[in-house]
Structure 1
Amino acid sequence: MCSCILLAALKNADEMLKDIISAVDTSGDGKIQYEEFRVFVEAAERQLLQLFRSIDRDKDGRLNKEELQAAFRRAGLSVPKRRLSGFFDEIDLNHDGFITFDEWRDFLLFMPTNHNGSPLEAAFSFYSSIVTVNPEGDSLVSDETLEGLGYFLAGAVSGGVSRTATAPLDRLKVYLLVNTKTSSNVAIAAAKQGRPLVALRNAGGPIVDAIVSLWKAGGLRTFFAGKLLLGWSRVLSGTDSHAGNGLNVVKIMPESAIRFGSYEASKRFLAAYEGHNDPTQISTVSKFIAGGIGGMTAQFCVYPIDTLKFRLQCETVKGGPQGNALLLRTARKMWADGGLRAAYRGLGLGLVGMFPYSAIDIGTFELLKKSYTRAVARYYGIHEDDAQLSNVATAVLGATSGALGATIVYPLNVLRTRLQTQGTAMHPPTYTGIVDVATRTVRNEGVRGLYKGLTPNLLKVAPALSITWVCYENMKSLLKL
């Protein structure tokens, strides 16, 4: 039998073998007699046949993946597509895309009968226990570990693609929010004087001025300082005129990977805490909490690189050093300002702002996604699991959730960035702490100063989060997570 061979090949199957012997040896004499074995096999076959027929909905005498997936769903079990495929392929010995009863019986014949869950759950648990080691007894990477690595990979790819695509808008945002100079707002003055055309013509004045200044500082490459995905190779070769490009490779991809990986891990933990172990069924509050934890974890891990990136962008001035010279000078200056403490300036404010931002972004996306799929399923009369989001719908939901979160926490983002970039060429003022930067910002620039750069930030966040979520959801499908 297939399962006999598997069990015999496993060096760590002592407990499983003891359970099987205990179930077969009804007399308790420590020996398995033929009659005992025959009775056990016949009883096991009857149970497996009953389970097989309950899964075989079209009654054609064989199971396909769709029937097996539907059976798991009816049993209330959440099984990722990759694990479902592994389970199916392990039983489908001739790999014809169908499981016959003989294949089903041969693989599951020695499945423990004292499992507390449903028969299908017992079958999947049996499969999981016999594929954790290979025939030589060497440990294999568990499905849970592979899933976790998959989420990290999906997050890394989605973050790298979206940030590279929206780099110029982020550069513009940083320029605006660290600029403390106040100027007469022609647009507002014209509006108060009843001159709407003049007001409209000058409404984008600060943004236009910022674009012109950045262009003069270094042309098109200035808009990708600290951002361009391919920049790291240029930094290493010394050919990058804006060395911050490489920092984006070091920061963005790990940050996004840690954020989504931590988010998925937090969902698992909270599912266990809620008592059902199904990450897809956790409460809305738990989804928001998991999102916040993911964001805070990522923020803490990459914060020094984030600080260096902001300072690097603010040290990029016309006629100043470029490339590795700029990167090294900025890093030395940051270290001289306070060592590791300088790298983590504003961390508390960053974490306080990141938790609600990430919680709102991810939590709102999941809430909107759930509501949308439920509406689609109800409209077409299908199961929610079969109601797939299109890329357009995913992009719209991602843009909405990201813009909402970014707007709510934006003042904290302004204050944090000013703490990180204090004493640089573009932001000369220095501060004693959070209270000082907040007080001086409001006193010198008013409440509007807390929202400097919000417009380009939203213009960046909407497409960035759209691209992020579309890439992430597609990567999950590709990796069968």
Structure 2
Amino acid sequence: MSASEGGVLKPKYGQFTLQAREIISQPVMAAFCAGGVAGAVSRTVVSPLERLKILFQIQSVGREEYKLSVGKGLMKMWKDEGWRGFMRGNGTNCIRIVPYSAVQFGSYNFYKKFFAPSPGAELNSGRRLVCGGAAGITSVFFTYPLDIVRTRLSIQSASFAALGGAPKKKLPGMWQTMVTMYKTEGGIFALYRGIIPTVAGVAPYVGLNFMTYELVRQYFTPEGDKNPSALRKLAAGGISGAVAQTCTYPFDVLRRRFQINTMSGMGYQYKSIFDAVKVIVAQEGLRGLYKGIIPNLLKVFPSMSASWLSFETTRDFLTSLKADP
């Protein structure tokens, strides 16, 4: 409260500001906003490794321009395309990841309310896994078209012989790519190509990520404290991401392959998920289902560490905005 003329007390903040603070400080809304911040921070930090992972994933027998070590792959990307090569597709990725991560964190906190045995009670590991899986599926359906466009943007400038040699000087942007796919590859269904293996991989991945993080975070919290230190939060985030990614990585490879299944020069023409697995294993061995996992694991630790720390920091700040008038 603050003093005003005549000794009458007025609210320190305007009515609109108070209402906005009240809304944004609610647990689900705070988690939604903090999730968006966490997604943008985490993806930008590891953008070069994220793109290199995709270039590794979409290769098969006969396409081996990026059959290199991680270091040499990054050097090739730099030599061919410079700094823009490192960041290629990151703008689209951030546009995608902000709502994706916001919906994921927000819906996870929303679902926790329904799965809690009683109001305010802690969930067991099984309930956390289910809530995380549901949150992952929810976020995929809202943002999948941006994900498939990001994949196309990530590979269209790479020096794959199947794409016609040297990349074009002027490459289409996010919206142009989306419109072209819509018009030439089957309408709205083209923008959701590969969503089944995506959902199949995202549900267990997100569930494992949330479950593992909360378990490790609890383990890292000193007795008598409510929160671990920032360094321990970073470690818990990295561990949770590494565990979840390793367990579900083949689904990520399938997702990328299906996303370019009709792309000129790079299409694989898989008939189904089972057909894709059969063809990949027959032509590339079991290792084909784990192509790109090394740069992926190298990026997961810093990515998920940054994601969880920035999420908790932003969420705590937003929930603290619930102030007395």
Q: Same fold (TM over 0.5)?
A: yes
2:173 corresponds to 1:334: no
The aligned residue for residue 86 of structure 1 is none
The aligned residue for residue 51 of structure 2 is 171
Contact 2:242–2:300 (CA under 8 A) maintained in structure 1: yes
Q: Secondary structure at the match of 1:479?
A: helix
Contact 1:217–1:316 (CA under 8 A) maintained in structure 2: no
Distance 1:304 1:181, change over 3 A: same
2:286 corresponds to 1:406: no
Identity of aligned residues (%): 32
TM-score (norm 1): 0.57
CA distance in 2, matches of 1:364, 1:372: 12
Q: Secondary structure at the match of 2:89?
A: coil
CA distance in 1, matches of 2:70, 2:59: 12
Distance 1:164 1:183, change over 3 A: closer
Contact 2:137–2:203 (CA under 8 A) maintained in structure 1: yes
2:220 corresponds to 1:350: no
The aligned residue for residue 119 of structure 2 is 277
CA distance in 2, matches of 1:209, 1:432: 34
State the one-letter code of the partner of 1:356: P
State the one-letter code of the partner of 1:218: E
Distance 1:457 1:156, change over 3 A: same
Bigger radius of gyration, 1 or 2? Answer: 1
Contact 2:35–2:103 (CA under 8 A) maintained in structure 1: yes
The aligned residue for residue 156 of structure 1 is 36
Per-residue CA deviations over 1:6-30 (Å, capped at 9, x if unaligned) read xxxxxxxxxxxxxxxxxxxxxxxxx
CA distance in 2, matches of 1:471, 1:401: 15
Structure 2 segments unaligned to the other structure (5+ residues) = 4-13, 159-165, 321-325
Shift of residue 328, structure 1, vs aligned partner: 5.3
Per-residue CA deviations over 1:220-247 (Å, capped at 9, x if unaligned) read 21111111xxxxxxxxxxxxxxxxx2x1
CA distance in 2, matches of 1:390, 1:145: 25
Distance 1:390 1:285, change over 3 A: same
Matched ranges for 1:2-401 at <5 A = 146-147=25-26, 148-181=28-61, 205-227=68-90, 245=91, 247-271=92-116, 274=117, 276-278=118-120, 280-317=121-158, 318-323=166-171, 325-327=172-174, 330-335=177-182, 336-373=184-221, 376-377=222-223, 382=224, 386-401=225-240
The aligned residue for residue 111 of structure 1 is none
State the one-letter code of the partner of 2:130: I
Shift of residue 183, structure 1, vs aligned partner: 8.7
Contact 1:314–1:426 (CA under 8 A) maintained in structure 2: no
CA RMSD in angstroms comes to 2.7
CA distance in 2, matches of 1:210, 1:157: 29
Tell me which moved more, 256-265 or 145-154.
145-154
Distance 1:157 1:333, change over 3 A: same
The aligned residue for residue 479 of structure 1 is 318
Structure 1 segments unaligned to the other structure (5+ residues) = 1-92, 96-133, 185-203, 228-244
Shift of residue 140, structure 1, vs aligned partner: 5.4
Shift of residue 208, structure 1, vs aligned partner: 4.4
Shift of residue 212, structure 1, vs aligned partner: 4.2
The aligned residue for residue 301 of structure 2 is 462
